[in-house]
Amino acid sequence: MRVLLISHSLVTRSNHRLPEELACYPDLQLDVLTPEWWNEESRIVYQEKTEDSSYRIHCDQVIYYRQPKPNLFLFRSTLAHLLHTVKPDIIDAQEEPFSLAMGQILALRKLYAPQAKLLFYSFQNLYKRYPLPFSGFEQWAFRVASHACVSASEISDVLRRKGYCGQVVLNPPGVDPAIFYPSPEARASIRATFSIALDQPVLGYLGRLSPEKGIQDIIYALSSLPMNTRLLIVGGGVSSEIKHLAQQFGVADRLILTGAINRVDVPRYLNAMDILIVPSRTTPRWKEQFGRVIAEASMCGVPVIGSSSGAIPEVVGENGLIFPEGNIRMLAVAVHLLLDQPHLRHELGTRAHRHARQHFTWEQVAKDRYTLYQEMFHG
């Protein structure tokens, strides 16, 4: 079974865990196409090639249309060559159906590998109408692709509403349990860095600093919480508004802003938290998608309090608490509940860890993807 996996996200070394796990299946011949470099939030990230010889990785230059965004790029030359030489049975395109890359994949498939079955991936959980040619690429993908992978069930509803009639399979991104795990040592180290006692309650946020992420709601809630409660905000972005708001509410001395951190340090910061808060707010153009940080915190045994935005309730499940997005009072109630009941906090963290080990490891994600490949190949 020959599979060509195409994904811009595989520029990042940590995401290679999917092809590494897939390559463990002996009847699978895997080729991977990914950009040589990628523009990640105005930062150039270069391909970190793997030494794994069980699959072949091919890098190509990309051409951006107007601006460097995930849905506005094309591969320069390698895609056509791979389709012609590999002659894949399955094309696993981890790109949105409306993207420029998808249009390129569809056109070159028609020329060089018309027999290949197509699978696409979507994170889009809002119903949007796109201008030409993007709407044309989307409908073309809907006609050709026999299967679609999604990270949350509400994305399936969007695809159906848009007219997709193929099979939709839930296959979320994975988390590496060898990197994300409960670590008392990391907890103690990070807390010592910021002069936080081991028994002092720490709320945490990890992600980009932007209005739709709802960080302001945590600031509001913090003002009603016990004075020894600290708030650890980890992520890059404009922090001046957050600092100003914290000063307004008299909690500036309880706030820790780390700025952007190295990806390898994420599990250490998560372990320093007693509770991770994901307070996202839906906007007309965006609502929370998978929320990978929820799965990562869960793998570390950290309980999550999340808003009702997008896929958050589905990812958190029964292993954390959900509050109506934008409802600061209910957020504060949820935090009070977990701070006042350590046994409940511990129970939720344990359940979240167990759930993550069952559903969010790269091994499980790859197993589900391989099962899908088999269904497509024999179907």
Residue partners of 38: CB distance under 8 A and separation at least 6: 8, 11, 12, 44, 45, 62
| b (16+ CB within 10 A) / e for 219-256 | bbbbebbeeebbbbbbbebebeebeebbeebebeebbb
Architecture of domain 184-359: 3-Layer(aba) Sandwich (3.40)
- Give residue 53's pLDDT: 76
Global confidence as pTM:
0.94
Residue partners of 113: CB distance under 8 A and separation at least 6: 83, 84, 86, 87, 88, 91
- Give residue 47's pLDDT: 82
30 in Cβ contact with 23 (< 8 Å): yes
User: How close are the terminal C-alpha atoms of the chain, in Å?
Assistant: 13
Q: What is the per-residue DSSP string for 167-212?
A: EEEE-PPPB-TTTSS--HHHHHHHHHHTT--TTS-EEEEES-B-GG
Based on C-alpha coordinates, what's the Rg of the chain? 22
- Give residue 355's pLDDT: 98
- Give residue 156's pLDDT: 98
13 in Cβ contact with 40 (< 8 Å): no
Residue partners of 277: CB distance under 8 A and separation at least 6: 203, 204, 205, 218, 304, 305, 306, 331, 335
- Give residue 50's pLDDT: 65
Residue partners of 315: CB distance under 8 A and separation at least 6: 152, 172, 290, 291, 294, 295, 306
Picking from 106, 41, 30, 28, the residue whose alpha carbon sits closest to that of residue 69 is 41
- Ranges for all domains in the chain classified under CATH 3.40.50.2000: 2-174+361-378, 184-359
Q: pLDDT (tens digit, 0 to 9) for every residue of the chain, 379 residues total?
A: 999 999 999 988 888 999 999 999 999 999 999 999 887 766 788 887 666 678 999 999 999 887 778 899 999 999 999 999 999 999 999 999 999 999 999 999 999 999 999 999 999 999 999 999 999 999 999 999 999 999 999 999 999 999 999 999 999 999 999 999 999 999 999 999 999 999 999 999 999 999 999 999 999 999 999 999 999 999 988 889 999 999 999 999 999 999 999 999 999 999 999 999 999 999 999 999 999 999 999 999 999 999 999 999 999 999 999 999 999 999 999 999 999 999 999 999 999 999 999 999 999 999 999 999 999 999 8
d(CA 294, CA 208): 14
- Give residue 42's pLDDT: 62
For the structural domain made of 2-174+361-378, what CATH number should be given? 3.40.50.2000
- Give residue 51's pLDDT: 66
Name all contacts of 284-292 with Cβ < 8 Å and 24+ positions apart: 285/126, 285/128, 286/126, 286/212, 287/125, 287/126, 288/312, 289/123, 289/125, 289/151, 289/152, 290/123, 290/151, 290/152, 290/172, 290/173, 290/315, 291/315, 292/173, 292/175
